[in-house]
Structure 1
Amino acid sequence: EIRVEMLARNLAQARAAQQAKIDAYDLRRKGRAPAPVEQYSMVKRVRLAWERAVTETVAAHQQSETEPVTAAPASGGGSRRRGGERKRNITDPASRMMPLRGGGWLQGFNCQAVTSTDGLIIATTVGNNPNDATAFATTMTAAVAAATLLGTHQPDRAQPFAPQDNSGGIGILLADTGYLSRHNLTAPGPDRLIAIGKSRAVDKAATQTPAQGPPPPEATPLQAMAHRLRTPEGHALYKQRSHIAETPFGHAKHNLGFRRFTSRGLARATAEFSFHALVHNLIKAINTGRLTPATC
């Protein structure tokens, strides 16, 4: 099921990237026009892989329902061939195989964090689904609740956030292309910018085919987002995402050495990641002098 979800996400990204090329193409320029979305080679290749994965998943479910469960043979029988019996991590069944940047896989969990512009981690979630897009709504809801709580306890704020304000005081959410989906673009909540491609593609589109003003009223959610990212305001805002979002993860991994959980299970991993975010925020507050006691 996870493989099917990952391929579905890749298919959506491939379609979105090709649609962005089509939207940015200028008829006055020389060169071949971009191919239609469903005829693009990358889209066709990923779609075939997704359809094959769906077929294999359905067949595996049907086979597991009809065949009895047999005990695994004793050790010493050699390695299993690919496509043989299923294997499960018996030390941490809740964990899953996660793809690594640059290639490879790691048995673990998918950690999500929402960071404010001043470096505070205001929301965290931990799951065993490698597809980031499925965690967007949950993480956004947690961030809105945290921002609302922070806003109502600020001593210099005359009026707290209204209960009907579904943004929680969040100006705008910035997310990379891993969170791109139609549901995430249109879900209720704060205003957001979700990249429709890699950062270099976003920069190239904003530089070569800049846009002005609001998107056309007949634009689809994907086309509207592509238009906003090509405007000077949208491009300038999205360029801040990498520093805001990636710095806490880089600090945790490289400076604090937090690269693995110390206990097993999804509940314990969630608690440990929340504790790490708490310590991160406390250190941030101490170093900035926010927790320094006033002298009389």
Structure 2
Amino acid sequence: MPARALCRQAALLAVRALYAELALYPKPGLVSLVDNGSHSDMTALTFMRSLFSLRHYFAAICRAGMEDAPFARLKQLGIAAERRMMAATGGINTHRGAIFGLGMLCAALGRHLATPGQARIATAADPAVLRAALLAGWGEALAAHTLAAPDGSHGQRAAQLHAASGAREEAALGMPSVFLVGLPALQATLARGGSMDHARVDALFALMTHVSDTNVLHRGGLAGAHMVRDQAQHFLALGGTAHPDWRARALDTHRLFVRHRLSPGGAADLLAACCLVHAFSRHAWT
């Protein structure tokens, strides 16, 4: 299949992954098609406008990955995509973390798809292969990126204040929260016969137990971060979506987060990344 068509397919899957995260409900504190969660400045429509603005970016960064472009080129594409997002949303940051995380995954896929035919087809887009492509292509550059000067975002200020890791550190390590936490949780729920929505809910709660979410730290400080982690651990300890009353418990958590204005947006971005890796691994790239 021509490179252009492959990149367009990758972009379509990336946009679908972001929509899957948006449409998921209950989703504690986060914007969905049902309500605005803990946010007064954005709605599902804001996210849809953002999604539409990013469709060409994901194809472009996948193509850059195919060409083994340096990280500086990927960064330029990401910055341009962020400007388009801000223009589409009236200056509201809906997908900044996703632009970085899902963009790097699309680049890693592109790098993998540029592998000679038989080697590529033999491994399809296995998650472990995708992670290896990410680290082999840009691991050193991503590590250096974590040391770059702060950009003034709420997330970076919160990370500095609380010594938390953020999207840069996550990517530099090959997205361990995606490949070692969220994706296994998603796959485990599917393996026991759970629906895709159940799998995504379980993956989100698993990520909330693991991630030092700078969005939460910005809004609620350490107390808010402990609340998010404790609530997520309790939900999973009861069996997650395997519990017959899981939806009511997830809704209770949602209402609690809204009362405290907590929004685990970092976990939401990582959930979208999990959805994308899962989709990449099931797609026929031939």
Same fold (TM over 0.5): no
* Greater share of residues in helix: 2
TM-score by length of 2: 0.28
Which of 1 and 2 has higher RCO (CA within 8 Å, sep 6+)?
2
* Greater share of residues in strand: 1
TM-score by length of 1: 0.28
